[in-house]
Amino acid sequence: MQDTDLLLSLAEIAGVFVGFGALISVRSSGASDAHEITYIRSVVTLAIWVVIAALAPVIVSRYDLAGHELWLACSLLALVLLLGQWIVNERTTESRELGAAYSRAQTVGVVASYLGLMIPMIAALVLVVLGLFPDQEPALYLTAVGLGLFMGALTLLLLVFLQGPRPTASDPVALSATGGSSA
């Protein structure tokens, strides 16, 4: 398999994200804000998904699977893990609190930015599963893993920018700067 070194490098980078997420979560006795917890959980689960998805072809290819069979098995694993991750993350109390706390504009902005990455990521994996472009399957799979890594990086960046006190209803200037309403 020609992309072994690249996939291993992506797994290493994603491992660093897991470390950053863990480091952020344990600082100051851990995160207690729903925003922080949700973003830390997202960084860590996305990074673990990238590690598994990047290592899967390297490991599975050792069982003499190649070509479409290799990319099919890995893409199905990646899709199942992605679905499982989404279900688990969406069922948390912090995720529901975060959704309730966001204004409609904030929710649309965050969802649009993630869907802009998630849709092509899922589409690449589905194209591999369907076998429509057999010559492009390694590239499609690598694209999906790369987009997953980019989503993790974006989430980590959002987490960094979210650090600090949250505006309250008693602070109308700070509240209005975040798109909230004091009424």
Res 40 pLDDT > 60? yes
User: C-alpha distances in angstroms, 45 versus 52, 60, 183?
Assistant: 11, 22, 36
169 within some domain: no
CA-based Rg of the chain, rounded to a whole angstrom? 19
Give dist(CA 53, CA 97) in Å, integer: 30
177 within some domain: no
14 within some domain: yes
Res 63 pLDDT > 80? yes
Cβ atoms 52, 39 nearer than 8 A: no
Confidence grade of residue 140 (pLDDT, cut at 50, 70, 90): very high
Give dist(CA 4, CA 64) in Å, integer: 15
Lowest mean pLDDT among 42-46, 92-96, 149-153, 166-170: 166-170
128 within some domain: yes
pLDDT reported for residue 173: 47
pTM: 0.75
Give dist(CA 159, CA 177) in Å, integer: 18
Name which residue leads in pLDDT, 33 or 131.
131
79 within some domain: yes
172 within some domain: no
Confidence grade of residue 3 (pLDDT, cut at 50, 70, 90): confident
Share of the chain above pLDDT 90, in %: 32
11 within some domain: yes
The parent domain of residue 75 ranges over 4-163
175 within some domain: no
Contacts 24+ apart (CB under 8 A), 115-120: 117/147, 117/150, 117/151, 117/154, 118/147, 118/151, 120/147
Name which residue leads in pLDDT, 5 or 65.
65
Would you state the torsion angle of the CA atoms of residues 54, 73, 155, 121, taken in this order, to the nearest 10 degrees? 110
Number of domains forming the structure of the chain: 1
Give dist(CA 118, CA 110) in Å, integer: 12
